[in-house]
Every structure is written in C-alpha cells, then in structure tokens.
Amino acid sequence: MNDQSLAVTHQRDAVPRSASRTIIGKTTTNVTNDHQDLTGKTPEKRVSAEKPRKQRVPRNVERHEARSLAMQVLFESDLTDHDWESILERSESDDLLTPQLADYTRRLVTGVMANKIAIDALIRKAAPAFPIRQLSAVDRNLLRLAIYELSWEPDVPTKVVINEAVELAKRFGGENSSRFVNGVMGSIAAEVRPTTQD
C-alpha cells in the first residue's frame, strides 16, 4: 500500500459515519444508525425513572386476573391463618394493578369472607363425602370463590363462573382438582341458579 492510499484510508476512518465523503474518486453518503454512536457501538439503553403505566385491559382478562389474585389471597389466609385484610392490602400495593383489577379482587375476597359460613354450607351439601377441612386448600378456596360469584354476582354468567374455576384449578390445583371443582360447581349451579343455566 503506498502513502497516498494510506492517507485516503486514514481520512476515511476519521470522517463521521453520517458525513458525505470522497473515497478514490467516488462520493458516498453513509447514514448513521440511530442506535449507534460515532464509534459504531450501540449505546446502553437509558432506564426511565417513570413508574410503569397501568394499561387498560379487557374486562374478561381483568376479571380473570382478579380471580387469580383473590384465590391467592384466600389460599394464603387459609393456609397460614394470616389476617386476610393485610394480605389483600399487600397484594393491592402492586403498582401494575389497575384500579378496576384491585377493586374486583377486593370485592371477591371480602365477599367470600363475609359469606364464608353460607358458602361452606353449600360445599358440604354438594360434596358430603369430602369434609371441607380435608379438601386441599386450593380446592377449598376455589370453590368458595366460585360459589361467591355464582351466588352474589348475578352479572357473571354461570358458564363463566364454572369455566374460570376449572381453569384456576388446572393452574393451581392437583391432578384431579379441575374435575372435582367442575362436578361440585355443576351441582351448586343447579341449585343456586336453576333457571339461568347459561
């Protein structure tokens, strides 16, 4: 390589990548990638100090998440004997919860706790071979949650209540939980909503 070609190479490397330049008789324009600095390296992403935004989610998704969260609150309270209100408050402190999600979760948990005696009586009647305290904590609290919705939330269709309970049983319960919950809820639905089997 002669001195002239070395000078051209050196000049080319010294020019910013976004500039127009002449290299051995040709004019070229090189556009800098927005994500690269002049050294050609990608700079580190800047972390925003802003809180994550609460995104609006569809009502059915929001209610599914509220049921899941309510189930976890009821489960923890039942298994540990911790105060359910403090567990609920801790779960509501999550910055990513939308107000609607937090409200429906609270409504479900407080509804179950306020009506627990009546709900447990329905479980005893529908599943007499399974004493409530001998049910797994997951099955017991899923049934309580679903029975509350079936009995005290008339705007929620029967099929939705049962399907949601079965889905949560698959997610949180044992191998036979979904079948057990489905069977018990079918019996209870026939009694609680005999004319609205939708």
Taking only the tens place, the pLDDT of each residue in 114-139 is 999 999 999 999 999 999 999 999 99
Q: Do 9 and 97 belong together in one domain? A: no
The pLDDT, as a whole number, for residue 135 is 94
Query: Average pLDDT for residues 137-164, to the nearest whole number?
Result: 96
pLDDT at 149 over 90: yes
The pLDDT, as a whole number, for residue 107 is 95
The pLDDT, as a whole number, for residue 196 is 64
Domain containing 2 equals: 1-31
Give how many domains the chain has, as a whole number: 2
Residue 102 lies in a domain: yes
**Which H or E run includes 22?**
strand 20-23
Residue 48 lies in a domain: no
Residue 180 lies in a domain: yes
CB atoms within 10 A of CB 140: 20
Q: Do 98 and 182 belong together in one domain? A: yes
Q: Do 85 and 135 belong together in one domain? A: yes
Lowest mean pLDDT segment, chosen from 20-29, 82-91, 93-102, 153-162: 20-29
For residue 75, what is the domain's CATH number? 1.10.940.10
Tokens of 155: 């705007």
